[in-house]
Structure formats: C-alpha cells, structure tokens
Amino acid sequence: MSERRWREVDAYFGAIVQEDAALQAALAESAKAGLPAIAVSPAQGKLLALIARSIGAKRVLEIGALGGYSTIWLARALPSGGRVVTLEINPRHAEIARANLARAGLTDKVEVLVGPALDLLPALPGPFDLAFIDADKESNADYFAHALRLSRPGSVIIVDNVVRNGRVLDVPGDAQVEGVRRMIDLVADEPRVSATAIQTVGEKGYDGFLMAVVR
Ligand code: SAH
Ligand code: DHB
Ligand code: MG
C-alpha cells in the first residue's frame, strides 16, 4: 500500500481518535510560527494518552516539546494534580508550546523547561510514571538511561522514531540512526526493563515506537 493510503487510513480513524479544536490550533499555530511538521500524529498522540491513562500516570516526563502537541495529549490524560514536565532546547519552540498549552487550558498541568535536556535531566526530581523520549535522536541512549534512573517499578518509557523508514538497519548509519542503535543496544542489555519495538505506518510515514516497562 502506498504512503497516500497510509495517510487516508489515518484520516479514516480520525473518527475514533477525535482530535479537537485545541489540538488542531496547536498544529496550525506551530506551522504559522515556522516549526517543523514533526509532531506525533493524532492517532499516535491518542495512543500516548491512552497509555498514560491505562497506567494511571500522574507524573510524565517528555523530552522534546516542539509546539506542545504531544504534550497536550499527555497532559489531558492526567488526573487533577498530575504534571507533565517537558524539556525543550529551543526557546522559540518552548514559547509556542506554552501558548498552545495555555489555549488548551493546561498551563497548571505542564512545566516547560528550556535548555538542553542533558543539562536539565540531572536536576529533575523523580520518579516519573511515564517518559516520552522524542528529541535529538543522537542522545537517545543517554535519555533512556536518565528516564530509567528517574523511574520506579512499573514505569513506562516510550521512544519515538526508532525505525526511520527502515534506516535503523543502516550500519554505519547517520548520527541519528547511530543514536537510535546505541539506545537499542542499551535496552537489549538492560535487565531492569522489558521492552518491545513496533513498526508503524501512517501520516508520519514508516517509523516506529520503542516501549519499555521497568521491572
Ligand atoms: N514531541 C513533539 C515533537 C518533538 S520534535 C510532538 O510530538 O509534538 C523534537 C524537539 O526536540 C524539537 O522541538 C527540538 O528543538 C527538541 N530538541 C532537540 N534537541 C534537544 C535537546 N538536546 N534538548 C531538548 N530538546 C531538544
Ligand atoms: C523528525 C523528528 C521526529 O521526532 C519525528 O517524529 C519525525 C521526524 C526529524 O527530525 O526529521
Ligand atoms: Mg518524533
């Protein structure tokens, strides 16, 4: 099936995903501000929200906010008093994310921290019930190690973009693929987690998620 059909099928499933006006506005404002169109798809955002709900997550760590689109899905999944801490290196992205979160009425549920994630992570208080890793792929192994350090038994760690149109098999690969592969090696040798990786197609093309549960 063609990429066009993948996109049409995602549109068809829109009826159950139910992306609303605040989420659509977040994407529209992000595009208007010139941010790259690399947010999770509506179906993927809903999956993140359902995972958060199904584990009763109260504290969520996100690495890579962009315009806050995935952040909105995650924050909405939390009970009152729940918090998403999202880390974003680009102050312009963080500013757009804050505006999008405010429009969605989620200011009280989200803390947007600005800086390189590797500088911010050492000072963060854990544990987090769920971590979503979606920033520079070069640092994926370090991000996974931090997410694991900041976890408790039962915490879930999800990593976006682990397939990259199949380029994950390229050896040697580009710096991003090498970053994904270092993270996969780490997870393979890490007895404290049980993990899987799922290939996906859809409006974001051919890619995939890694999911790990902390023992
Ligand atoms: N999770 C978002 C998409 C994130 S795109 C969504 O689905 O809606 C990746 C983001 O990671 C970009 O905004 C980029 O600026 C940010 N990023 C890149 N390197 C980073 C770093 N070292 N620390 C924190 N954020 C980083
Ligand atoms: C890119 C980054 C992402 O996080 C993503 O989901 C898709 C593409 C990118 O940098 O090209
Ligand atoms: Mg991504």
User: In this predicted model, what pLDDT tens digit does every residue of 165-206 receive, in sequence order?
Assistant: 999 999 999 999 999 999 999 999 999 999 999 999 999 999
C-alpha of residue 69 to centroid of ligand 3, in Å:
11
Q: CB of 62 closer than 6 A to ligand 2?
A: no
Token match 């780490």: residue?
186
The H or E element that residue 211 is part of is strand 205-214
For a mutational test of ligand 2's pocket, the pick from 27, 35, 38, 176, i.e. the residue with the most ligand atoms closer than 8 A to its C-beta, is: 38
Query: For the purposes of burial, counting CB atoms within 10 Å of the CB of 189, is it exposed (0-12), middle (13-18) or buried (19 or more)?
Result: exposed
Mean pLDDT of 118-124: 98
pLDDT value of residue 84: 99
- Residue nearest ligand 2's atom 6 by CA: 38
pLDDT band at residue 23, thresholds of 50, 70 and 90?
Answer: very high
Each residue's pLDDT tens digit, 28-37: 999 999 999 9
Mean pLDDT confidence for 135-161: 99
* Number of domains into which the chain is organized: 1
Query: Does pTM top 0.85 for this prediction?
Result: yes
- pLDDT above 80: residue 159: yes
Give me the pLDDT at residue 128, please: 99
Centroid of ligand 1 to alpha carbon of 24 (angstroms):
19
Percent of the chain at pLDDT above 90?
Answer: 100
Nearest atom of ligand 1 to the alpha carbon of 35: 13
Peptide bond preceding 172: is omega within 30 degrees of 0, i.e. cis? yes
Burial of 5 (0-12, 13-18, 19+ CB in 10 A): exposed
CATH number (domain holding residue 102) = 3.40.50.150
pLDDT tens digits, one per residue of 34-55: 999 999 999 999 999 999 999 9
pLDDT tier for residue 69 given thresholds of 50, 70 and 90: very high
Domain of 122, in residue numbers: 3-214
Return the residue whose CA atom lies nearest to atom 21 of ligand 1. Answer: 116
Whether residue 160 has its Cβ less than 6 Å from ligand 2: yes
- Confidence (pLDDT) at 206: 98
Is residue 78 predicted with pLDDT exceeding 80?
Answer: yes
Q: Could you tell me the pLDDT band of residue 95, with boundaries at 50, 70 and 90?
A: very high
Residue 38 CB less than 6 A away from ligand 2: yes
Tell how far the Cα of 143 is from the centroid of ligand 2, in angstroms: 16
